[in-house]
Chain A
C-alpha cells in the first residue's frame, strides 16, 4: 500500500492518471485549458467549499471500469472524486453547456451588473464566467433584489447586492480565525452574508475574505474607487512579517502602491494567506522587497496586461524625434501644469 493508487480518468477525450481521491475538477485542472470546468464557489484551500454554485457541473458518461453505467444527473465536478476508468464530458456535452448557461443566467439574475463602478471589474470571476459560458442577454424582466451596504470593520466593505452566495468568505473566516462572527442569514433568494448585528469582523487574517470573494461583494476599503485594476502593475514582493508569510502581490501605479493582495495562482486561488497589516497598512514601496513582475496568465482583463520584461526593466524610448526628422517636439504647454490651468481663478 506504500505506492499511491493511480486512477485513469478521461475528460473530454483526454486521458490522465491521477491519485485516487482526486476530484474531477482537480484532474481537469491538471489537463488545463478549456477542459477545466469553471468554479465559482470551490476553493481548494478551503475545506468543505464547493458544490454550491453548480457552474462546474459535468456529465459522467461512464462511471468506472467496474461499473460503466453513466451517472443519471450532471454532477458537481468539484465534489466528486474520480473512479478508475471514469469518462467525463465537459465542453463536449451539450447537456453540460446548456445547464452551465442556465446557471450563469441564474447567477446574473439578481446581480446588479454594475461593473463600470465595481472595483472587482477586470479580475471578476463572474465576468469571466459570463463571457465564457453565458448568453448575451437575460430574460429576466423584474426588479433585482438589493441590500444596503455594510461596513465590516475599518477595512472591508460588504456589498451584498453583488454577492453570489458562494460561501467562500464564510469558510475563510471559519477556518482562519478562531471566532466565527459572520455567516449566512435568511434563506432562498433573500439569503445574505452578514455579521451578527453588524458586528465588525475583527481578526488578523480577515482581509483574506476579499481575496477569496469571486465577485465585488467584499472589497478593500483602502483601495475602493482608487484605480481600475488593469491600470496597475502587479508585482511579486515580500517583507519580513511577524504574522504571515509576507509574500504578496503589490499593485502599483508608478512607484505608488495602490493595493496589496495575496499571490493568486492561475485558478485565482490564494497561495499564502496574508495578514491585515501587510494588506492594508503597508503601502510604501520602501516596505517591500520587489521580486519582479507577477504574471497573471488566466482569466480576467488583467491577464491582458503583459508587463513581463518591460515594466521596470527598461525605460520606453522617445520616438518623436525619429519620426519627425530629428527635430525635437515644440513644447506648446508643459502638460504638468495643466492642473494649474484648471484651478479656480477666483481663489
Chain B
C-alpha cells in the first residue's frame, strides 16, 4: 500500500461537509500557514517540495509562483484551473466532488502565499453539479472564519469565486482561461507577456491545476522536504491517475510514482489487469494529447529498462520511444482496439475544439480528421500516411498555444508506432471494415542493442 496524501480520507462518511473534514484534521495547513509562516516561506516550502504542475506540462509549481510580478498597488490573483476537459482525465472531478474542502484549503494557503485576495475557480461548464458542491464548501469555510475578511484574525482577506466555463477544451489553456474568465471569447493570448506579469485584467496571475493546489495542503502540513522524500527523482509527492479503457477497475488512483507501469496495470490494488482476459495492445499514459505507446514500449523503455509511473520514466526516450505523464489520464487499449479509429476520434476531438485563431491548427486539424476518416473507412491511400505525418509536423510548434501540439502528437505517435496498422487499413480496405488488425507484434519484446 503506497502513501496517500490527497485521497487518504476520501472514503470517510460526510467528508464533503466542513464538520467532518475539520474533525479529520482539515484546515490545519491554513492555521499553520497564516499564523506561523509568511508568504515567502510558503513559496520556499513549495519549491523545496519539488511539486510539479499536475495539469499536464509538469512545470515546477514553486518556480511558477516565484515568477509572479509584485508591482505596488496592483492586486494579484490566483486562478484554479478546474476546466478538466482532456479526454481520459477525470481526477480533478473526483477531488472536487468528494473532497471540496481539500481544494478550498489549498486555495486559501496558496492565495496567502501569492497575495491574492480574490481567487477564482474556473470550472468546466459540464461540471455543473460540482459548482454547487464547491459553493457550499466555500460558504461553510466562510461561516467558520477560514474565508472572507480577516481570516483567523490574521488580517488576510480572501474570497473564492467559482466561474463556470461554457464548454470549450481550449479554455483549459491558461491564457484562454483568463480571457474566458474576463468574459471574452476563449482565445489563447500570445505570450509573452505571461500571466505572471499580465494575467486576469492585466494583473499578475498564477494559474494552477486543482490537484497542484490541493497538494499544497500536505506540503504545508508535512513540510516541503518531507514531501520531496516521497516519489523518485524530480517526480516528488503523489499523483492522481484516472485510469480508464479496457481494464478491470477503472477509476481514480493515487500513486507515489515509484510503481512500475506493469504493476499499475496488472496489480489488483490498481487497474486489476486487462478486462475480459484480453491482452494489452497500447496505452495513452497521460491524457489524450500525449503520444500513444504500444505495449512493448509502454512496459519497457527502448533501453530495456522497466518503465515506471513518473514524469522522467514515462518520457524516457523522448517522443521517439517514450511518452509523457501529462495530466494523468491513463487510457488502456486492448487487442481488440483499432489504433486508426482511436486516432480518428482524437483528431475529431481536436478539430472540434480548435479555437480557430491561428491557421495551422484551425486548418490542419480538420484536414487530419478528413484523411483519417478516409483511411478508417477504406478510402485511404498509402501516400495519405506520409501526408498526415507532414501535416502534423507543420502544426506542431507553429501555433499560438499548445493545443496545436496536442493535436499533432497523437497522430504522430500513432503513425510512428503503428504505421503497419495504418498500411493494413489502406491495403485491405474491405477487411478493415469488418475486423481489426489485432495485437500483431505490438507486445513482442523489443530487441535492445548491446553496447560496449
Q: Which residues of A contact B (CB under 8 A)?
A: 50-55, 57, 73-74, 76, 79, 98-99, 102-103, 105-107, 109-110, 139-140, 142, 164-165, 167, 183-184, 186-191
Contacts and interface: CB of A to CB of B under 8 A. Distances in A.
B355 A188 contact: yes
Nearest to B184: A183
B363 A186 contact: no
Nearest to A140: B367
Interface in B67-119: none
Given A188-B352, A191-B356, A99 B398 contact: yes
Contact of B400 (A51, A110, A191): A51
Interface in B245-267: none
A164 B399 CA distance: 15
A189 B170 CA distance: 14
B185 A189 contact: no
A183 B179 CA distance: 15
A30 to B, nearest CB: 22
Contacts of A139: 387
Contact of B358 (A53, A99, A110): A53
A106, A107, A167, A183 interface centre (most CB from chain B within 10 Å): A106
A73 to B, nearest CB: 5
A190 B362 CA distance: 9
B397 A107 contact: no
Given A50-B190, A52-B400, A57-B398, A188 B354 contact: yes
Nearest to A109: B363
Nearest to A142: B370
A34 to B, nearest CB: 21
B317 to A, nearest CB: 19
B419 interface: no
A107 B364 CA distance: 9
A56 B170 CA distance: 24
B359 A53 contact: yes
A102 B362 contact: no
B417 interface: no
Contacts of A55: 359
B354 A54 contact: no
B351 interface: yes
B397 A188 contact: no
Question: Which A-B residue pairs are the 4 nearest by beta carbons?
Answer: A102-B394, A191-B356, A51-B190, A106-B363
A217 to B, nearest CB: 14
Nearest to A189: B366
A32 to B, nearest CB: 25
A52 B359 CA distance: 7
Nearest to A183: B185
B365 interface: yes
Contacts of B170: 187
Nearest to B169: A187
B168 interface: yes
Interface string B362-393: 11111100100000000000000001000000
